[in-house]
Amino acid sequence: MTYCVALRLHHGLVFMSDSRTNAGVDNFASTRKMFTFCTPGERTITIMTAGNLATTQAMISLLNERTSAADDRNLGILNQPTMFQVARLVGSTLREVISSSSVEGQQTADAFSASVIVGGQIKGGKPTVFLVYPEGNFIEVSDDTPFFQIGETKYGKPILVRAFEPDMATEDALKLLLVSFDSTIKSNLSVAPPFDISVYENDSFADKEISRVEADDPVFRTISSKWGEALKDALDGLPTYKI
Amino acid sequence: MTYCVALRLHHGLVFMSDSRTNAGVDNFASTRKMFTFCTPGERTITIMTAGNLATTQAMISLLNERTSAADDRNLGILNQPTMFQVARLVGSTLREVISSSSVEGQQTADAFSASVIVGGQIKGGKPTVFLVYPEGNFIEVSDDTPFFQIGETKYGKPILVRAFEPDMATEDALKLLLVSFDSTIKSNLSVAPPFDISVYENDSFADKEISRVEADDPVFRTISSKWGEALKDALDGLPTYKI
């Protein structure tokens, strides 16, 4: 499994992904699931992937090849005029990879399935995030749905639902995400650090490196260990239910 | 779906179940998923069910019939000598119902599947809880695994993992469970109030009525509304992660 989250804040976008990949519990490894495409001053795009690793790697490879190829059909991510067209390109590439892996005539693509979050900003447009389904179609963040999750989403959702605020500072958003990720890794072996982080400030169009939170990062370790105590204190403050 | 939790505390057992049942989002109803069997002064047993409603209702009906029938084979729950034998009886009854619903020759029982939590105490034995699988086998709570969940378990698990303490008071355990249930209903439409509660104090062998928390219960509403604020305060107390 995998866990990736993208938040749309008022001042920018925040992406976080774990790095565990596994085929059964006795075959696991660490792999990057976050990828950036950038033309400094003009566009910054971040992609996160969940699902069949062969599918998502092939999709990223195809997107990379088409971006670097000197092709006058302009098929690459760096040539798309809008984020909507970027999402369409990602969706069609994803669908293409899945269908090429599926046995002819077979109707289900489950075994080769994958989901993708793609977000960023292109000059002239607003920063936005899309959740792309294996069928190639996609949905966009909105004020009502200001974040997307893919992969093992359930354990980490309640804290996002409760504590996310679109006007929170980047540091607070990262703290919130680390708690959400920590809740997930405490309950599911298929999600694990290191975590990759990409932060985009609106209208920056910057080529920032992906940051990495290692399992032994002291701040992450403190957040993880103190969160249990903080939750107990929070519970103490609530009224008691008597039967 | 469904959400049921059983906690084993040092001083007793606490059970909570939701009451929503649904077949698709346009066909839902409220139904009880908690059942008690008691011989005052001798045994108190609580059963909670998740899964196919026809299966679980048939299982409970069979258990009830066998309990009330004047049968010298003593097949009922009230005749079993130990909680282990109660769990075996529940398991075999569950497996019997599932296999009788399955089409002959079909290998999967998924469509008719169900899981059961059965807990309580019989004089001469310790209070304990079992999680019974649709195959009829089961596992028992232990110091390492002091609670069981069935149904839609993921959203409500992180708070249990962090805040559960085996020596907590009943009132605190109920508060913890209400937060866990509230986190679940905020994220999944197939889990909903009213919630049923059964509390068993060790060696009481009492026949207590099941309590019910309605959706508009003022304490539950306060817990639900204040939990978001409490979580934000808890987050504020954690160190900030800077990239």
Please report the pLDDT score of residue A127 as a whole number. 98
- B149 falls within a domain: yes
Asked if pLDDT for residue A74 goes beyond 70, the answer is no
Please report the pLDDT score of residue B144 as a whole number. 94
- Mean pLDDT, range B171-199, rounded to an integer: 96
pLDDT tens digits along B87-118: 999 999 999 999 988 766 555 556 789 999 99
- A243 falls within a domain: no
**What is the ipTM, given to two decimal places?**
0.89
Buried-state track B148-165, b at ≥16 Cβ within 10 A, e below 16: bbbbbbbbbbbbbebbbe
Please report the pLDDT score of residue A101 as a whole number. 82
Residues A1, A54, A98: CA angle, nearest 5 degrees: 100
Please give the residue range of the domain that contains residue A32: 3-236
The candidate with the shortest Cα–Cα distance to A116, out of A93, A145, A82, A146, is A93
Amino acid at B23: A
Orientation of helix B218-236 relative to helix A170-187, angle to 10°: 110
Asked if pLDDT for residue B121 goes beyond 90, the answer is yes
Q: CATH no. for residue B45?
A: 3.60.20.10
pLDDT tens digits along B49-88: 999 999 999 999 999 988 877 665 667 899 999 999 999 9
CB atoms within 10 A of CB A87: 25
Using CB atoms, which residue from B155, B230, B232 is nearest to A238?
B230
Residue of A nearest to B220 (CA): A241
- B241 falls within a domain: no
- Mean pLDDT, range A84-99, rounded to an integer: 95
pLDDT band at residue B192 using 50, 70 and 90 as cut-offs: very high
- Measure in Å the smallest separation between the Cα of A66 and chain B Cα atoms: 31
- Measure in Å the smallest separation between the Cα of A9 and chain B Cα atoms: 17
**Ramachandran category for residue B3: left, alpha or beta (phi over 0 → left; psi -120 to 50 → alpha):** beta
Please report the pLDDT score of residue B134 as a whole number. 94
- Mean pLDDT, range A69-91, rounded to an integer: 86
- A194 falls within a domain: yes
- Answer yes or no: do A238 and B156 touch at CB < 8 A: no
Q: What percent of chain A has pLDDT over 90?
A: 85
Please report the pLDDT score of residue B73 as a whole number. 61
Q: Computed over its alpha carbons, how large is the radius of gyration of chain B?
A: 19
Taking CB atoms and an 8 Å cutoff, what residues of chain B touch A228?
Answer: 162-163
- Answer yes or no: do A230 and B228 touch at CB < 8 A: no
Please report the pLDDT score of residue A111 as a whole number. 79
pLDDT band at residue B196 using 50, 70 and 90 as cut-offs: very high
- B240 falls within a domain: no
Count of the separate structural domains present in chain B: 1
Please report the pLDDT score of residue B215 as a whole number. 95
- Mean pLDDT, range B195-218, rounded to an integer: 96
pLDDT tens digits along A197-238: 999 999 999 999 999 999 999 999 999 999 989 999 999 999
- Mean pLDDT, range A7-35, rounded to an integer: 95
pLDDT band at residue A35 using 50, 70 and 90 as cut-offs: very high
- Measure in Å the smallest separation between the Cα of B174 and chain A Cα atoms: 6
Averaged pLDDT score across all residues of chain A = 93
- A242 falls within a domain: no
- Phi/psi of residue B16, each to 5°? -140, 140
Please report the pLDDT score of residue B70 as a whole number. 62
Taking CB atoms and an 8 Å cutoff, what residues of chain A touch B179?
Answer: 235, 238
Asked if pLDDT for residue A107 goes beyond 60, the answer is no
Q: Give the Cα separation of B156 and B33 in Å (integer).
A: 18
Please report the pLDDT score of residue B102 as a whole number. 75
- Mean pLDDT, range B197-226, rounded to an integer: 96
Taking CB atoms and an 8 Å cutoff, what residues of chain B touch A222?
Answer: 238-239
- A136 falls within a domain: yes
pLDDT tens digits along B13-41: 999 999 999 988 889 999 999 999 999 99
Using CB atoms, which residue from B161, B186, B222 is nearest to A158?
B186
Please report the pLDDT score of residue A1 as a whole number. 84
Asked if pLDDT for residue A92 goes beyond 90, the answer is yes
- Measure in Å the smallest separation between the Cα of B241 and chain A Cα atoms: 6
Averaged pLDDT score across all residues of chain B = 93
- B243 falls within a domain: no
